[in-house]
Each structure stands twice: as C-alpha cells, then as structure tokens.
C-alpha cells in the first residue's frame, strides 16, 4: 500500500512539469500563428486554463528566452500579449522590414488588401476564410505600409481590419465606395456564404 502511494505521488510530480511545458509550447504556437496581439482571456479559453496560469507561463517563457539569448520576446500591453523581437536584433529586423516596405505589393498582399477594402471592417479569421490561407504575415506587412489599420473589438474575437486614410490618399478617392464595382463586389453572394459558414464554426 505504501509503495503504491509513493509511486502515485512520484507520477503526479513527474507529470506536472510536462503539463506546464505543454502549456508553454501551446502558447508559443498560438502567438506565432496569430501574428497579432491576443487577449489573455482568449488564450485562457483556448487552453482551458485560468488567466493567472497563462500569465505565469508567459512570464516563465520570456525569462527563459532572455536567459538563453533567443530572438523572441513576450510583449504585453493591457489585456493583450504578442510575440516580439529582442531589442539587440533591431538593426537586422529593420533591414528586413525596410526591404518589405520598398518592394512592390505581392499578389497575396493585393488580394488581402482588396478584401479589406471591399468588405469593410473584417477580422483576420474572416479574411482567411475568404482566401483559404493564413494571412497574419500579409496583414502585418499592410499595417507597416500604413495601407490598413486595425481596432479592437468589444469581445475576444481579435481585431477588425479596415483600409486607412493613407490607402484612400494613395488612390485619390474619398471613400471605399468609390472603388471600381464596389456595389457589386462588396455584396458578393459566394463571399457571404463563406463568411456565414465561418461564423458558425
């Protein structure tokens, strides 16, 4: 009996770090795939743990990354968190970013920009439902160029993306309604069906 209790205690102690490491691994994956700030409440809901556990795991991750001199950092602002880069790598990161900004818009960037322009306020998940691919990298590029802007929603869905004043100024139009075939393309039935299915998932 004593041996059984001892073994059960050893198994519980051995399993706890594994569960904690799994949470950290999951958080790292979620923040990487998101590519944008994510609310603590949303992470807690996805991981099915408390907000305090999320915050503790993120603090441990950031401390470990700094100790290991890794290139990623945990950036917190209010009730949201995002992956960032180490300050000591800023020179190299800026070279990559400036290269992106000076390059022409890619086909995927133009497609994403068109969706935001013709659909109005849309979430990243809605854009991805229409395009069928992950759009976090493309949206980041468009944000850096100042062609789109985002605003927080009242719930935990994430951010809403809209075209910016810079976009309108670049095209020389007063509003998105002046885009070619706006009345038709902004109310495409196939797109409406895709978004309807996405909202039910």
Q: State the CATH number of the domain containing residue 19.
A: 1.10.10.10
Residue listed under structure tokens 């205690």: 9
Instruction: Indicate the average pLDDT of the chain.
Output: 79
Residue listed under structure tokens 């991981």: 47
Question: Based on the domain organization, do 20 and 82 belong to the same domain?
Answer: yes
DSSP tag of 104: P
Strands of the sheet containing 72-77, edge to edge, are 38-39, 80-85, 72-77
Least-confidence region, from 38-47, 96-105, 132-141, 170-179 = 96-105
Handedness of CA 108, 113, 114, 116 (dihedral sign): positive
Question: Based on the domain organization, do 64 and 111 belong to the same domain?
Answer: no
pLDDT tens digits, one per residue of 112-131: 988 999 888 888 888 888 88
The crossing angle, in degrees rounded to 10, of helices 136-145 and 107-119 is 80
Is residue 8 a part of any domain in this protein? yes
Q: Which residues contact 5 (CB under 8 A, 6 or more apart)?
A: none
Q: Which of 26, 103, 24 is nearest to 57 (CA)?
A: 24
Is residue 93 a part of any domain in this protein? no
Is residue 175 a part of any domain in this protein? yes
Number of domains in the chain: 2
Is residue 126 a part of any domain in this protein? yes
From 61, 88, 115, the end of a domain falls on 88
pLDDT > 90? residue 150: no
| Chain CA centroid to CA 115, Å | 18
Question: Based on the domain organization, do 122 and 155 belong to the same domain?
Answer: yes
Is residue 97 a part of any domain in this protein? no
Can you tell me the mean pLDDT for 158-171? 82
Is residue 96 a part of any domain in this protein? no
From 41, 58, 88, the end of a domain falls on 88
pLDDT > 80? residue 156: no
pLDDT at 7: 37
Q: Cα–Cα distance between 33 and 105 in angstroms, integer?
A: 22
Q: Please, which pLDDT band fits residue 2 given cuts at 50, 70 and 90?
A: very low
Is residue 55 a part of any domain in this protein? yes
Q: Which of 127, 123, 188 is nearest to 154 (CA)?
A: 123
Q: Which residues contact 164 (CB under 8 A, 6 or more apart)?
A: 146, 147, 148, 149
Question: Based on the domain organization, do 194 and 149 belong to the same domain?
Answer: yes
Question: Based on the domain organization, do 125 and 194 belong to the same domain?
Answer: yes
CA dist list (Å): 77 to 31, 82, 201: 14, 9, 29
Question: Based on the domain organization, do 83 and 133 belong to the same domain?
Answer: no
Question: Based on the domain organization, do 111 and 59 belong to the same domain?
Answer: no
Question: Based on the domain organization, do 112 and 190 belong to the same domain?
Answer: yes
Question: Based on the domain organization, do 73 and 139 belong to the same domain?
Answer: no
Q: What residue numbers bound the domain in which 45 lies?
A: 2-88
Angle 192-196-201 from CA coordinates, rounded to 5°: 150
DSSP tag of 79: T
Return the H-helix or E-strand segment holding 107: helix 107-119
Is residue 61 a part of any domain in this protein? yes
């Amino acid at each position: 009996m004593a041996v059984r209790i001892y073994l059960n205690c050893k198994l519980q102690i051995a399993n706890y770090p594994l569960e904690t490491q799994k949470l950290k691994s999951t958080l790292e994956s979620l923040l990487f795939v998101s590519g944008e700030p994510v609310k603590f409440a949303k992470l807690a809901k996805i991981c099915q743990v408390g907000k305090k556990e999320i915050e503790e795991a993120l603090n441990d991750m950031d401390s470990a990354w700094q100790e290991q001199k890794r290139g990623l950092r945990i950036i917190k602002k209010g009730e949201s968190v995002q992956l960032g880069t180490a300050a000591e790598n800023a020179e190299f990161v800026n070279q990559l970013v400036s290269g992106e900004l000076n390059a022409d818009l890619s086909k995927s960037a133009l497609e994403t920009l068109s969706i935001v322009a013709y659909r109005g306020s849309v979430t990243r998940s809605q854009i991805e439902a229409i395009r069928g691919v992950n759009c976090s990298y493309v949206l980041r590029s468009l944000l850096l160029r100042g062609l789109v802007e985002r605003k927080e929603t009242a719930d935990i869905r994430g951010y809403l993306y809209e075209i910016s004043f810079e976009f309108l100024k670049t095209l020389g139009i007063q509003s998105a309604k002046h885009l070619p075939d706006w009345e038709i393309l902004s109310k495409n039935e196939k797109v409406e069906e895709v978004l309807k299915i996405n909202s039910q998932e």
